[in-house]
């Protein structure tokens, strides 16, 4: 039996979940030939479910319904979260995946219906959009039978955001969410994968047991789309801004030193480097006042802090 939508209710769905992530060191140098260290956060995740069907369907979640109680509520929502939603991220991933199949002349991909849900707070720096995109790609990978190398998948996910959604971003989020755990990333010499035609960095797992005690804090009131900040940063870098270019090199150096600190079990030094990372980020320009306030609170309590990750001193 098939439903009117063409979905066979007796065929089990393909379900993939991707965690949130925090950038510990080097962020945001990943988009500028830098180096970073990031950590997957399993407390939050995005889940995509694929059901084979006739045609292609994307089912928006209840959280993405375009319905507000008043003009003021609508304005506050758009100002906080922007105009994008989860359905657009899922659609961008699906469209990019079809491009990948075409480039490989890989013809096997039947119709599908995609639904999704997420517990990752929006626009607070935990990479919710990339989690949805990666979960979608992994569902489609299994559905089509195509095998994508693990070090290539983050680059395809990034292409979905950059080319389909016009978002300025780097590889870091997608790498951490693909690999899981604690990951060191080197983007200084990107290699081109001959089969998939995308650039990839060098990625390796680190031992999270050597991390200092971490805590994560966020405020939904501080949520804000990051695209404007990153587009401005990209413009300044591309036009040779000396401060931006120098700071990106220093941020990469912080990640290198942080990896050494972890290797030697020096958690105190790693904590100090998180504070140093924030000092350098402030040289690139201020973030939204409410986001800066979160860091200020942590620092006033004697903790080292940076965006999307806090660490007790």
Q: Which residues are catalytically annotated? A: 173
**Which residues make beta-bridge pairs with 46?**
18, 118
Element (H, E) at 11: none
Q: How far is CA 186 from CA 35, 95, 127, 232, in A?
A: 5, 28, 19, 23
CA 88 – CA 165 distance, rounded (Å): 8
CA 73 – CA 86 distance, rounded (Å): 19
**Please, which contacts does 266-274 make with residues 24 or more away whose CB atoms are closer than 8 Å?**
267/210, 267/211, 267/212, 268/212, 270/25, 270/210, 270/211, 270/212, 270/311, 271/212, 271/304, 271/311, 271/312, 271/313, 272/304, 273/25, 274/24, 274/25, 274/304, 274/305, 274/306, 274/309, 274/311
Q: What angle do CA 41, 191, 105 make, to 5 degrees?
A: 90
Element (H, E) at 2: none
Torsion angle of alpha carbons 38, 40, 41, 47, nearest 10°? Answer: 140
Given a contact cutoff of 8 angstroms between Cβ atoms, the answer to whether 115 and 49 are in contact is: yes
Q: Is the dihedral of CA 188, 194, 196, 202 positive or negative?
A: negative
């Amino acid at each position: 039996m098939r439903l009117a939508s063409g979905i066979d209710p007796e065929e089990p769905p393909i379900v993939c979940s991707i965690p949130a992530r925090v950038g510990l060191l080097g962020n945001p140098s990943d988009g500028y030939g830098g180096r970073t260290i990031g950590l997957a956060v399993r407390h939050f995740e995005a889940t995509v479910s694929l059901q084979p069907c006739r045609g292609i369907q994307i089912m928006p979640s209840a959280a993405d319904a375009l319905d507000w109680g008043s003009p003021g509520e609508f304005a506050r929502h758009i100002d906080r979260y922007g105009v994008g939603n989860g359905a657009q991220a899922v659609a961008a991933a699906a469209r990019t995946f079809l491009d990948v199949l075409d480039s490989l002349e890989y013809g096997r991909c039947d119709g599908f219906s995609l639904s999704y849900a997420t517990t990752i707070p929006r626009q607070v720096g935990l990479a919710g959009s990339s989690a949805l995109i990666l979960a979608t790609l992994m569902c489609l990978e299994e559905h089509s039978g195509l095998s994508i190398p693990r070090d290539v998948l983050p680059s395809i996910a990034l292409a979905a955001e950059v080319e389909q959604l016009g978002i300025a971003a780097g590889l870091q989020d997608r790498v951490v969410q693909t690999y899981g755990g604690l990951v060191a990333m080197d983007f200084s010499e990107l290699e081109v994968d001959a089969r998939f035609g995308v650039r990839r960095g060098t990625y390796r797992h680190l031992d999270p047991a050597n991390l200092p005690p971490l805590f994560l804090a966020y405020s939904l009131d501080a949520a804000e789309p990051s695209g404007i900040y990153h587009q401005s940063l990209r413009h300044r870098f591309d036009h040779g801004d000396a401060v931006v270019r120098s700071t990106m090199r220093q941020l990469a150096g912080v990640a290198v030193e942080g990896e050494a600190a972890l290797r030697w079990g020096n958690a105190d030094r790693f904590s100090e480097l998180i504070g140093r990372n924030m000092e350098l980020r402030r040289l690139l320009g201020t973030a939204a006042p409410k986001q800066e306030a979160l860091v200020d609170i942590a620092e006033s309590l004697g903790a080292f802090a940076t965006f999307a990750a806090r660490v007790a001193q």
